[in-house]
Amino acid sequence: MKLWSKENTQTSQAIEKFTVGRDNEFDLLLAAHDVTGTIAHVSMLQETGLMEKEEAALALQGLKAILDEIRNGSFVIEEGVEDIHSQVELLLTRRIGDAGKKIHSGRSRNDQVAVDIKLFLRAELLTLRDEVKKIFDLLIEQSEKNKDKLIPGYTHLQIAMPSSAGLWLGAYAESLVDDMELLAAACAIANKNPLGSGAGYGSSFPLNRTATTQALGFDTLNFNSAYAQMSRGKTEKIASMALSALAATLSKLAMDCCLYLSQNFGFISFPSTLTTGSSIMPHKKNPDVFELIRARCNRIQAIPNELTLLLNNLPSGYHRDLQLTKEILFPAFQTLKDCLDMTGLMISNLTVKDHILEDEKYRYLFSVEAVNQLVNEGIPFREAYKKVGEDIEKGIFAFDLSTGLKHTHEGSIGNLCNDRITGEMERVLKKFSAVKTNLIPE
């Protein structure tokens, strides 16, 4: 069944298979959103007199029954049915008769799938918001727990200056604040209603687009009907950028954990149940989870570029190329949620070793501390730098760690400012406050 088919028109099976592609697979992810959008549309048709009250009531009852089937997992897209929109209309018409044929008045599949995708992206971004907040809280908790455990800091992968596990973990917490800014921005762009824009040029029906905007919990409209269609693809690309930023944070954290777990670093450990072994080397405890987080998140970081290549040379208006955005972007949401879940499991079981910096190989880590100590005694910085450098070259450099490290400025190892970072996260979370879920009850 096709919404656009005509009695005397037959489409080649090869053409049909190629053009439908993997749509049915990803349309199931849109099913509840498609029905929700249709419920809002039918309610608007009835309110504006474009559908009889009795017919609209019958259609709404049938649509809510289909929505229940989607939610309980019994809904399927039948063989030979082109997409989710066709399946819903087919089911409804079977069950309530000709009234089911009226639900498409004032709509195109273009604005129908556009609103489905906006609802899907909004829901997925809100879910990611909640999952990211859990990891943020965990990182802050572990940062505070390990704030007094010193570890080496590196530049160019060379020993640089003293750091701490608290500073390291807190850095990733603050990185998530910036990632959350992008999630909030993507959510705000997804939270605009394209329904009623039709094929991209509006309708001669007196549609009430404000009514569907309110019914679906959107913050506002994509007002211009041509731009409502142009936002298709652009919205997905912006969402992918937010996912990419978050994936970059998780990938970098995973890489650090792979390094710090290795014997050559040996700063952290995890329970044996969270590592894997070797088929030949009995001593191995491999960080496979972090390696796969790194790999999967690196793939996610490629998605904005893939969408750019798909969309870049398209003129205004609808083009079938846009169908492919679903298979490029949609799986990334579940992949990222899985990576967040695994990151949470690993970091919650992280142990940081004690007395790491007492190892002789970290002696020169305190060269800057020694320079600063001389400066505090009145020696000009450049002379102090030269003296410490000469001591290092002569092999006579020493620093008494028992005197303690005096780092007090904001964001240093002695003043992590985790409370301030938490305040920044709370500030960003308020940007989601205008986002409502749709008003169709569970």
SS3 content of the chain, % helix, strand, coil (to 5): 65, 5, 30
Rounded Cα–Cα distance for residues 315 and 233 (Å) = 12
Helix (H) or strand (E) holding 298: helix 288-300
Do residues 294 and 251 make contact, with C-beta atoms less than 8 angstroms apart? yes
CATH 1.10.20.10 matches 13-102? no
Q: Hey, what are 100's tokens?
A: 């089911």
Q: What is the pLDDT of residue 4?
A: 43
pTM above 0.75, yes or no: yes
Contacts of 364 (CB under 8 A, 6+ apart): 159, 392, 397
Residue with tokens 């879910």: 127
DSSP 192: E
Per DSSP (E only), the strands in 275-401 are 351-352
Q: What is the pLDDT of residue 25?
A: 77
Q: What is the pLDDT of residue 405?
A: 84
Catalytic residues: 156, 278
Contacts of 417 (CB under 8 A, 6+ apart): 170, 410, 411
Phi, psi of 416 (to 5 degrees): -70, -25
Rounded Cα–Cα distance for residues 48 and 206 (Å) = 7
Q: What is the pLDDT of residue 2?
A: 53
Q: Is 84 helix (H, G, I), strand (E, B) or coil?
A: helix
| Per-block mean pLDDT, blocks of 10 residues, the chain (442 long) | 52 67 82 96 96 96 96 92 91 95 94 96 96 98 97 95 96 98 97 96 96 95 96 97 98 97 94 80 83 98 97 92 94 98 97 94 91 92 95 90 83 95 97 70 52
For 267, 363, 416, the CA distances from 407, given in Å and listed in that order, are: 21, 18, 10
Compute the radius of gyration of the chain from its Cα atoms.
29
Do residues 425 and 178 make contact, with C-beta atoms less than 8 angstroms apart? no
Of 359, 405, 334, 434, which is closest to residue 163 (Cα–Cα)? Answer: 405
Positions of CATH 1.10.275.10 in the chain: 13-102
Q: What is the pLDDT of residue 10?
A: 61
Helix (H) or strand (E) holding 353: none
For 15, 16, 253, the CA distances from 21, given in Å and listed in that order, are: 10, 8, 37
Alpha helices, DSSP H, located in 349-395: 367-376, 381-394
Positions of CATH 1.20.200.10 in the chain: 118-201+229-358+416-432
Q: Give the strand pairing for 220-221 and 192-193.
A: parallel
Rounded Cα–Cα distance for residues 180 and 177 (Å) = 5
Rounded Cα–Cα distance for residues 177 and 183 (Å) = 10
Rounded Cα–Cα distance for residues 305 and 125 (Å) = 20
Q: What is the pLDDT of residue 280?
A: 76
CATH node for 118-201+229-358+416-432 = 1.20.200.10
Bridge partners, residue 268, by sequence: 352
